[in-house]
Amino acid sequence: MSYTNTLPDVTNNSYAENELTLRWVGMENIAVPLTVPIANGDPQSVPAKTKIFVSLDKKKAKGIHMSRIHAMVNQLSQHVLSKETIDRLLAEAVVSQAGISNHASIHLAFDLILKKPALLSEEYGYQSYPVVIQGETLENGGCRYKMEVTVPYSSTCPCSASLARQLYARAVDEVFSGNTIDKESLLAWIQSEKGSVATPHSQRSYAYIKMTIDDNAWPDLSSLIFHLEDVIGTPVQTAVKRQDEQEFARLNATNLMFCEDTARRIKSCLERMSYVSDYWFKVEHQESLHAHNAVVIDQK
């Protein structure tokens, strides 16, 4: 046999030892920069990690053409991320396999960094939100999509607040034992160190939300995240002044929440989203009183 400069192509020129179909074959952990649209702002460039797969439906085929779908992931860097872009990528991924695949799927994971103003002052900062977008082709030719977002927030325990109020009442009764209280004396005592009688326990908390949006139009991610923060009522802050910290304390006092309260707010919100066909979420209050977390898990 004479030597040839033609590179061997095992995928095309050999056959599978066991002629069976495989659900998903592809690659994980591919790095690619994405350009994500932001409502009322410039698109944001973010580093993403990607998984992409195609089905192997031709039983005799040795394997898929991985380099072809890798090249398609690379092309994401040249387009603004959208449903139309991913629809097209998934369809082309199937076509690229030259008849051995019928389906394709993709998984995009990245952190969206959003600019957040302070509550009252002119300060602002940037906050990072983990986002996952998953898509796969359907038998009818459309695509099914799922989105995941993680939203941190603050939660103050209603029970702890109630117990703290009782201690304040007891302290007032002990310090001001008469039938009447001088207003100036009371205000001076409240604002002194002696007036710090008890503090309700609060904790950084998280909502992990997974939404199935099927083939519906995608929501703007920044608007979705800020809407969820508004629904919860006590979003974590970035740069603050003292007036912002005071306002944050006021918000927590007017939004006392068990994990069940937060979960019901989120569930009610998701139920009203017409583009969401299914959902799963987990609410996690990372307790400051206990060494364990308080958790709610629910789904549609």
pLDDT in tens, 1-42: 566 666 566 666 666 667 899 999 999 999 999 999 999 888
Distances (CA, A) of 237 to 47, 98, 119, 154, 207: 24, 51, 8, 9, 16
Q: Which of 25-39, 63-77, 154-168, 173-187 has the lowest mean pLDDT?
A: 173-187
Q: Which of 24-33, 177-186, 276-285 has the lowest mean pLDDT?
A: 177-186
- What region, left, alpha or beta, does residue 107 occupy, with left being phi > 0 and alpha being psi -120 to 50 degrees? beta
Q: Is 17 helix (H, G, I), strand (E, B) or coil?
A: coil
Q: What is the predicted pLDDT for the residue at 140?
A: 80
Q: Which of 8-12, 175-179, 230-234 has the lowest mean pLDDT?
A: 8-12
Q: Is 271 helix (H, G, I), strand (E, B) or coil?
A: helix
For 252, phi then psi, to 5°, come to -65, -40
Residues 6+ apart with CB under 8 A from 86: 106, 133, 135, 143, 145
Distances (CA, A) of 123 to 118, 222, 238, 241: 5, 19, 9, 7
Return the residue matching tokens 């005799």: 60
pLDDT category of residue 123 using cuts at 50, 70 and 90:
very high
